[in-house]
């Protein structure tokens, strides 16, 4: 679906309790905003993620990110795919590692050869005044910031090991994860887990439909492994609020 006139305007749920969300964020540096978007927005975003997004497999080889398109994956034999995933799992035992499906929303939003996706509309909204005003009320973030984003899909065999989201420029202030999966069981994994200094799990956010998880950076976290028996896909958008330098 590429007809932009059919897309509902991106809108928040007007009934959000911003003061209550601020209190929870102040207490722990993280918060889960439930029923975050209007029903029309949530439904359209889920449709885009589940039916229209051209996914790529994203994983890393050391510090180098790798991406494989659907065509490249289709051209691989089953043995080649199995060997690739075995190498990814082996690397995960000794270093930071991830494997999930990805679509670079920020990287394609201004590409004239890329048809507009509703995820692009959502990212424009996240960079607009309405969202920025809400974020400041919930997190206390001050000044100007830019929001980037990419769409994600976790399914059987996917994971993201412990990290804290710091980057070389040290401009990331807040991380966000928008979850858009209507049905998800707890034993299917793909939970956002937070750790203390001794790597005890101190809180877990389930991938509930129409939620925005936000947390202050740096903060140790991971996405738990999706087991082979999981029949579903966990759809979402994720990214960071980047501080503008004066």
Lowest mean pLDDT of 23-37, 89-103, 191-205, 231-245, name the range: 231-245
Question: CA-to-CA distance for 81 and 101, rounded, in angstroms?
Answer: 14
pLDDT tens digits along 69-90: 999 999 999 999 999 999 999 9
* 174-231 per-position pLDDT tens digit: 999 999 999 999 999 999 999 999 999 999 999 999 999 999 999 999 999 999 999 9
Separation in Å, CA 38 to CA 23, 52, 147, 178: 23, 20, 20, 13
Quick: pLDDT tens for 105-125: 999 999 999 999 999 999 999
**Structure confidence at residue 2 (pLDDT):** 44
Per-residue model confidence (pLDDT) at position 227: 98
16 is written with which tokens? 């959000």
Asked whether residue 168 carries a pLDDT value surpassing 80, the answer given is: no
The answer to whether the bond into 200 is cis (omega within 30° of 0) is: no
pLDDT of residue 169: 78
For tokens 């299917």, name the residue.
188
| 94 φ/ψ sector (left φ>0, alpha ψ -120 to 50, else beta) | alpha
> Would you say residue 95 has pLDDT above 90?
yes
pLDDT of 246 reads 56
pLDDT at 245: 66
Name the 3-class secondary structure at 179: strand
Q: What is the pLDDT of residues 3-23, one digit of tens each?
A: 445 899 999 999 999 999 999
Tens-place pLDDT, residues 49-59: 999 999 999 99
In order, the DSSP letters of 58-91 are EEEETTEEEEE-HHHHHTS-HHHHHHHHHHHHHH
Ordered structural domains, the chain, with CATH = 10-52+102-243 (2.60.120.620)
Q: What is the pTM of this model?
A: 0.94
- pLDDT at residue 238, as a whole number: 98
**Does 64 have pLDDT greater than 90?**
yes
- Mean pLDDT for the chain overall: 95
Q: Is the pLDDT of residue 170 over 80?
A: no
């Amino acid at each position: 679906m590429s007809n932009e006139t059919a897309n509902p305007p991106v809108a928040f749920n007007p009934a959000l309790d911003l003061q209550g969300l601020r209190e929870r964020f102040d207490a722990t540096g993280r918060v889960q905003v439930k029923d975050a978007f209007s029903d029309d927005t949530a439904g359209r975003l889920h449709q885009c993620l589940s039916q229209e997004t051209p996914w790529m497999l994203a994983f890393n080889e050391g510090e180098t990110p790798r991406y494989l398109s659907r065509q490249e994956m289709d051209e691989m034999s089953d043995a080649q795919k199995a060997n690739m995933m075995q190498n990814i799992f082996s690397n995960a035992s000794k270093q930071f590692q991830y494997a999930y499906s990805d679509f670079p929303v920020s990287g394609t939003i201004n590409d004239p050869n890329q048809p507009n996706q509703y995820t692009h509309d959502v990212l424009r909204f996240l960079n607009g005044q309405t969202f920025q005003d809400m974020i400041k009320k919930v997190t206390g973030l001050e000044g100007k910031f830019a929001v980037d984003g990419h769409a994600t899909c976790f399914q059987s065999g996917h994971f993201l090991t412990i990290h804290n989201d710091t980057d070389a420029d040290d401009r990331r202030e807040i991380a966000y994860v928008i979850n858009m999966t209507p049905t998800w069981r707890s034993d299917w994994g793909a939970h956002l887990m937070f750790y203390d200094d001794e790597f005890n799990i101190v809180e877990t956010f389930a991938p509930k439909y129409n939620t925005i998880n936000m947390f202050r950076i740096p903060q140790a976290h991971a996405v738990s492994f999706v087991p082979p028996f999981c029949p579903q896909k966990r759809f979402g958008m994720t990214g960071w609020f980047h501080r503008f330098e004066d």
